[in-house]
A and B are shown apart, each in its own frame.
Chain A
Amino acid sequence: MKADHTLDCVGLYCPMPIVKTAEKIKQLKPGEVLEIVADDKGIKEDMPAWCQTTGNQFLGVEEEGGEIKVYVKKKRP
């Protein structure tokens, strides 16, 4: 999937990928896509949940090897 920004969270456990995503997404413009690369499996459940609460759009998960990539589209304000 194509993304405008990437956030590296490899080696980080909950809650750090979520905390960093919340911080990073502030820098994005509405409609831009953020790719988060992580290896904590919890992110597959955590990111859709975070999106549901914050109103950002969860676009999906891609997995290759132990690497998990999740995609989030920033909401309109």
Chain B
Amino acid sequence: MAEKEKLTIVVFSGELDKALAAFILATTGASMGMTVTMLFTFWGLNIIKKNEGGIKSKGLMRKMLNFMNRGGSKRLKLSRFHMLGLGTWMMKRLMKESNLPSIDEFIAMAKQMGVKMVPCSTSCGVMGLEQDAFRSEVESLAGAAYFLNEARQSKVTLFI
């Protein structure tokens, strides 16, 4: 085969359902032999924040933001029918009953398949997030030029 085809996904949203859609497409793309890059920006950063410990950031407003908007794959909510956690809990149960991997498992799977998960540097700057806010599977921060250069060479580009 000639050069591998590329799939680039911008993950802007930080909800469970949208994260699921992004990871299903990313892992399928990798299974199809594509080179996959996921750029996480704004609320999407919550998906790849580490689950344990606190998020360190400087300044009162950023501290407040990262306290209220803690993130982490285990804290994601549904975009609809969250219902104070009941809806999300039920959806997670249904996913488990259907043998669907959790977001955590999807992240590990994606990493193993060579999917690159990149946090957007501008969002990180604004929100006061450093590399240590993220899980170990995540690549180093990059910006819009990196994304556009990837997207330019991609057969498929998605914004979720």
Is chain A's interface secondary structure helix, strand, loop, or mixed overall? helix
B27 on the A face (CB < 8 A): yes
A3 on the B face (CB < 8 A): no
Q: Measuring CB to CB, which residues of chain B are less than 8 angstroms from any residue of chain A?
A: 1, 5, 24, 27-28, 30-34, 98-101, 109, 113
Give bound CA distance, A14 to B106, whole Å.
Answer: 13
If A11-B99, A55-B1 are given as contacts, then 15 extra A-B residue pairs at C-beta distance below 8 Å, sorted by A number, are A14-B24, A14-B28, A15-B24, A15-B27, A16-B99, A16-B100, A16-B101, A18-B28, A18-B31, A19-B27, A19-B31, A19-B109, A22-B31, A22-B33, A50-B31
- Residue in A12, A16, A23, A55 whose Cβ sees the most chain B Cβ within 10 Å: A16
- Which residues of chain B are near A12, meaning CB under 8 Å? 99
Whether the Cβ atoms of A54 and B28 lie closer than 8 Å is no
Whether the Cβ atoms of A53 and B32 lie closer than 8 Å is yes
B111 to chain A, nearest CB (A): 13
Give bound CA distance, A53 to B98, whole Å.
Answer: 27
Closest 7 CB pairs of A and B: A22-B31, A15-B28, A53-B32, A19-B31, A15-B24, A18-B31, A54-B33
- Which residues of chain B are near A13, meaning CB under 8 Å? 98-100
- Which residues of chain A are near B5, meaning CB under 8 Å? 53
- Which residues of chain B are near A54, meaning CB under 8 Å? 32-33
B40 to chain A, nearest CB (A): 20
A69 to chain B, nearest CB (A): 19
Give bound CA distance, A65 to B44, whole Å.
Answer: 42
Give bound CA distance, A52 to B42, whole Å.
Answer: 35
- 13 of the cross-chain contacts (CB-CB < 8 Å) are A12-B99, A13-B98, A13-B100, A14-B28, A18-B28, A18-B31, A18-B32, A19-B109, A19-B113, A22-B31, A22-B33, A54-B32, A55-B1
B146 to chain A, nearest CB (A): 25
- Which residues of chain B are near A50, meaning CB under 8 Å? 31-32
B99 to chain A, nearest CB (A): 5
- Which residues of chain A are near B109, meaning CB under 8 Å? 19
B108 to chain A, nearest CB (A): 12
- Which residues of chain B are near A53, meaning CB under 8 Å? 5, 32-34
Contact partner of B32 (CB less than 8 A), chosen from A14, A22, A23, is A22
